[in-house]
Amino acid sequence: MVSWYHKHFGRTLLNAERKFLDKIMPKLFGYYLVQLGGPSDYYFLPSSPIVNKLRVDPNDLAHADFIRADFDALPFLSDSIYVMVISHVLEFERNPKAVLAESYHALVPEGHLIVLGFNPFSLYGLLKFFKRGKEFPWHGRFLRMGKVCNWLKSLGFEIVARSTCCFDLPLGSYCLPNPSIIEKILHFLFPYCGAGYILVCKKKVVTLTPVKARLLHKRLAFKSTMSNVSCRERYEEN
């Protein structure tokens, strides 16, 4: 995985994602920030004002500052993390929705989740069909941005922003005249066809309003024609 991020495709995508995150992270505050996945030698979040930054990887043994844990079984207390970044993890998990559910559980109310993923509707997604095999990231299951949004909404997240990035042509070491101009043209013509998508979400918690005892008494009084035994049984059920 790390070797791919050092190549042209991976490094270009990381730089595009980092530019997007540099605009978002300074606006998010809190005590703890957690990053799931991503290359171990590339620092995503220097622009975040949060001091306590943690990184989780189930396979990393070389870095002492990493937490070794499964992405679908995070070792964090409920309502303890303020910002969480999932960096290209869902594509390689058997149950990606479970990872999102764990993130929801760990985030504080109104906490933010940022999801980075490979966009199947892009030139990189098209390239995947010609590079089928066990290499990273082509062996992963690229998920539609709309599908991930539906999962997030069903768990209780609010989608704050969505975008795609990295419109660089996947030509590897081949050089193009004025590549930045070509990328701007592609971004203008196909705004949701970037190599990677970025979702910014907020954890929403629905507060339950308790039913007043007076309303319960009215409900029982309405059924006054019932026998005392029946009324008692229904009161116990409620």
Domains for the chain: give ranges and CATH numbers.
2-207 (3.40.50.150), 210-238 (no CATH)
Q: What is the pLDDT of residue 222?
A: 43
Q: Which residue has the higher pLDDT, 91 or 230?
A: 91
What are φ and ψ of residue 90, in 5° steps? -60, -30
Query: Which has the minimum average pLDDT: 86-90, 144-148, 180-184?
Result: 180-184
CA 51 to chain centre: 21
Determine contact, residues 130/108, Cβ cutoff 8 Å: no
Geometric angle at alpha carbon 152, from 16 and 118, rounded to 5°? 30
Instruction: Give pLDDT tens digits for 53-67.
Output: 889 988 766 665 678
Geometric angle at alpha carbon 182, from 181 and 187, rounded to 5°? 95
Query: Where is 22: in which H helix or E strand?
Result: helix 8-24
The band of 110, judged by pLDDT with boundaries at 50, 70 and 90, is very high
pTM (predicted TM-score): 0.80
Query: Which has the minimum average pLDDT: 7-21, 84-98, 197-211?
Result: 197-211
The helix/strand/coil state of 238 is coil
Please say if the pLDDT value at position 30 is more than 90.
yes
Instruction: Give pLDDT tens digits for 212-227.
Output: 555 444 444 444 444 4
